[in-house]
Amino acid sequence: MSRRGDWVYENNGGTCVAIAGADYCVVAADTRLSVGYSILTRDHSKICDLADKCVLASSGFQGDIKALHKNLAARELLYQHQHNKRMSCPAMAQLLSNTLYYKRFFPYYAFNVLGGLDSEGKGCVFTYDAVGSYERTGYSAQGTGSSLIMPVLDNQLKSPSPLLLPARDAVTPLSESEAVDLVKDVFASATERDIYTGDKLEIVVINKAGTKREYIDLRKD
């Protein structure tokens, strides 16, 4: 892959997926970090705990992702000290949008999926482009394998259009265990076709009881 001499970005690959349910949210990402045909590490987490029952999964240029996560963590800590409470997931979604848009002329090369529970305890997923445009959906995928995974999620989950009136709930009809099984299936499928996705799958399940993590192996070639 040839690049211009002044091109400062690199795509380190990887795939992120999130699914929101009635009282849970599942966020998952693979752990491979690579450049071109070289694997830099097989054990790199793309998921960051940010606020109260709210996690962010990011794919793209690792330098920008680290800077973005550090910035958001600092802003959340300031909010916590000023308001004596953790930031909610929808509030973090707006903060992330503002942070990305502020850098729109030299953007963070990061493609983000934010998942968690809202103030009513419902699952919520927010999906972003690189300059802060975002939308609340029932499910989303970002990263190098997203074009392989999104058609499967569209087929299985069929989220209602946000243009429908009256507005319909975007949460998916699956139970928590069914959503986790679907995530495992779509990653197993994407790993067969995307060389930048693989090694291990990190799954974070958020519900009223808290947050739990699970790891499963994917293809390592």
The residue type at 159 = S
Q: Which CATH superfamily is domain 13-216 in?
A: Aminohydrolase, N-terminal nucleophile (Ntn) domain (3.60.20.10)
- Residue indicated by tokens 């995928």: 141
Spell out the domain ranges in the chain.
13-216
Question: What is the per-residue pLDDT across 3-34, written as a single tens digit (0 to 9) for each?
Answer: 555 677 899 999 999 999 989 999 999 999 99
Instruction: Write the DSSP symbol of residue 110.
Output: E
Alpha-carbon span 113 to 159, nearest angstrom: 16
Residue 1 is predicted with a pLDDT of 44
Q: pTM of this prediction? A: 0.89
Predicted confidence band at 160 (pLDDT cuts at 50, 70, 90)? Answer: low
CB distance 112 to 142 below 8 Å: yes
3-state secondary structure 124-176: EEEEECCCCCEEEECEEEEECCHHHHHHHHHHHHCCCCCCCCCCCCCCCCCCH
Average pLDDT, the chain: 90
